[in-house]
Amino acid sequence: MIEKYPVVMTIAGSDSGGGAGIQADLKTFATLGAHGTCAITSITSQNTTGVQDVHDLPPGTVESQMRAVAIDMKIAYAKTGMLSSSAIITRVAEMVREYQIPLVVDPVMAAEAGDSLIRREAVTTLQEELIPLARVLTPNVDEAGILSGIRINDLDDAKEAARRIVDSGANAVIITGGHLEGADLLYEGVDFTLVDGELVKGGTHGAGCTYSAALTVFLAGGASLRDAAAGAKLFVTRAILESRSVGQGVGPVNQVQHTVKTAWMYEAVVDVQEAVAILESSRDFPHLIPEVGCNVASAIPDASGTEDVCAVRGRIVRSGDRVQAVGCPAMGASRHVARIVLAAMHHDAGLRAALNIRYSEDVLEVARDMGLAVASFDRAHEPEGVSTMEWGTRTAIDNYRKLHNRVPDMVYDQGAYGTAAGAQGCGCCGDGCGDW
Span 389-419, pLDDT tens digits: 778 888 888 899 899 988 899 988 866 433 3
Does residue 40 fall inside a structural domain?
yes
Q: What pLDDT sits at residue 137?
A: 97
Per-residue confidence (pLDDT) for residue 335, from 0 to 100: 84
Same domain, 179 and 319: no
Backbone angles phi, psi at 85, to 5 degrees: -130, 160
- 3-class SS at 353? strand
| Alpha-carbon gap, residue 297 to 287, rounded angstroms | 20
Q: What is the pLDDT of residue 309?
A: 94
Q: What is the CATH number of the domain that holds 297?
A: 3.40.225.10
Task: Provide the residue range defining the domain that includes 62.
Answer: 7-254
Position 435 scores a pLDDT of 31
8 A C-beta contact, residue 124 and residue 131: no
Which pLDDT does position 178 carry in this prediction? Answer: 56
What pLDDT score was predicted for residue 406?
87
Reported as type and span, the H/E element at residue 312 is strand 309-312
| pLDDT for the residue numbered 2 | 40
Is 264 in the same domain as 250?
Answer: no
> Within the chain, which residues score under 70 in pLDDT?
1-4, 111-116, 178-180, 258, 414-436
Residue 433 in any domain: the answer is: no
Nearest of 309, 395, 381 to residue 347 by alpha carbon: 395
Region class of 357: left (phi > 0), else alpha (psi between -120 and 50), else beta: beta
Q: Does residue 430 lie within any of the structural domains?
A: no
How many domains would you assign to the chain? 2
- What are the residues whose beta carbons fall under 8 Å from the beta carbon of 139, sequence distance 6 or more? 106, 107, 147, 165, 173, 175, 176
Checking DSSP bridges between strand 75-80 and strand 7-15, what pairing results, if any? parallel
Please say which residue of 203, 222, 254 terminates a domain: 254
The per-residue pLDDT for 436 is 33
Is residue 1 assigned to a domain?
no
Query: In terms of domains, do 340 and 216 share one?
Result: no
CB neighbour list of residue 287: distance below 8 Å, 6 or more residues apart: 358
Among the candidates 254, 279, 313, a domain finishes at 254
Same domain for 126 and 218, yes or no, is yes
State the Cα–Cα distance between residues 176 and 185, nearest whole angstrom: 7
Kindly state whether residues 243 and 279 are assigned to the same domain. Answer: no
**CB of 117 within 8 A of CB of 13?**
yes
Distance (Å, whole) CA 400 – CA 407: 7
Q: Is 309 a member of any domain?
A: yes
113 domain-assigned: yes
Q: Looking at the structure, do residues 248 and 271 belong to the same domain, yes or no?
A: no
